[in-house]
């Protein structure tokens, strides 16, 4: 029960933070600020390469399952190392309380590297979609387990209006069916980690991948630790992988990218 309550705890805390942010920067004001910015970088285009598996390299200091992952943490150094190692895109964990992230990292990283940046967080309200664009995100993560079909449609619609791409993450068949009923979702993430128990099962990908139409771009997340893991997914036909912990635990993140991806 404790682990299951962790997700509820994260969501409650996130709602509190969104409420605080709205006091500091009201939604109407934020909407205006999110207009007329430099166009977003094409995230989907960057990770959808024929006959190769792309890497979305993640920047995160901590997680509920691992605790503190990287003590010597400098998001800018890590972002530069990822770009130099050949990553196609970067994911930035911006949740403050359990992942020790910060949304300001997105803008700082965008000013340093040329890769598109995905904001990874628990997006529960339209406010956060506008906020993502305002801080420079090129794409956002939407978690099917936490959102209704209507909310996914609404939030993705706002993202598209703002020129951003979006990744909809699923963990089981029920969530996948919910997402596939929506028209025009181009990018589906299969998360091998159950957000409620925090346990990782690599077989999740095997179960769900065959159920996804061939015209969708598929990203696999969580539990990827070896070149063999990547090779298996490449043979399966997966378009991209999102990896964070394995790189964050390595002393040299860039060298770990080359080792894991076989570049």
How far is C-alpha 118 from the geometric centre of its chain's CA atoms? 6
Question: Is residue 234 classed as helix, strand or coil in its secondary structure?
Answer: helix
b or e along 211-242 (b: 16 or more beta carbons within 10 Å of the residue's beta carbon)?
A: ebeeeebbbbbbbbeeeebbebbbeeebbbbb
Residues carrying an active site annotation:
58, 60, 120, 169, 191, 221-222
CB 105 within 8 A of CB 75: yes
Question: Is residue 166 classed as helix, strand or coil in its secondary structure?
Answer: strand
What are the DSSP calls for 54-113, one per residue?
A: EEEEEE-SEETTTEE--SS--HHHHHHHHHHHT-SEEEEE--SSSS---THHHHHHHTT-
Of 146, 149, 118, 135, which Cα lies nearest the Cα of 56? 118
Cα–Cα distance measured from residue 162 to residue 147, given in angstroms and rounded to the nearest whole number: 20
Question: Helix-strand-coil percent breakdown of the chain, rounded to 5?
Answer: 45, 15, 40
Take residue 140 and report the two structure tokens written for it. Answer: 């956002």
């Amino acid at each position: 029960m404790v682990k299951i309550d962790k997700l509820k705890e994260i969501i409650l805390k996130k709602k509190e933070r969104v409420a605080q942010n709205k006091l500091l920067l009201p939604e109407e004001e934020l909407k205006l600020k999110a207009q007329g910015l430099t166009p977003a970088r094409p995230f989907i285009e960057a990770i959808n390469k024929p006959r190769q598996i792309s890497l979305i390299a993640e920047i995160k200091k901590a997680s509920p399952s691992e605790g503190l992952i990287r003590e010597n943490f400098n998001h800018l150094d890590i972002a530069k190392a990822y770009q130099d190692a050949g990553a196609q895109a970067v994911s930035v964990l911006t949740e403050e309380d359990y992942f020790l992230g910060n949304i300001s990292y997105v803008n700082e990283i965008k000013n340093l590297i040329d890769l598109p940046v995905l904001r990874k967080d628990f997006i529960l309200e339209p406010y956060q979609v506008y906020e993502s664009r305002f801080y420079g995100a090129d794409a956002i993560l939407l978690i099917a387990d936490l959102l209704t079909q209507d909310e996914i449609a609404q939030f993705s619609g706002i993202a598209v209006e703002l020129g951003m791409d979006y990744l909809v993450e699923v963990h089981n068949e029920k969530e996948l069916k919910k997402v596939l009923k929506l028209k025009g979702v181009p990018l589906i993430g299969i998360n091998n980690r159950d957000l409620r128990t925090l346990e990782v099962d690599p077989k999740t990908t095997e179960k769900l991948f065959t159920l996804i139409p061939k015209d969708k771009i598929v990203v696999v997340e969580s539990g990827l630790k070896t070149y063999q893991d990547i090779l298996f997914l490449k043979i399966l036909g997966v378009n991209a992988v999102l990896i964070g912990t394995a790189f964050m635990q390595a002393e040299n993140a860039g060298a770990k990218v080359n080792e894991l991806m076989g570049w």
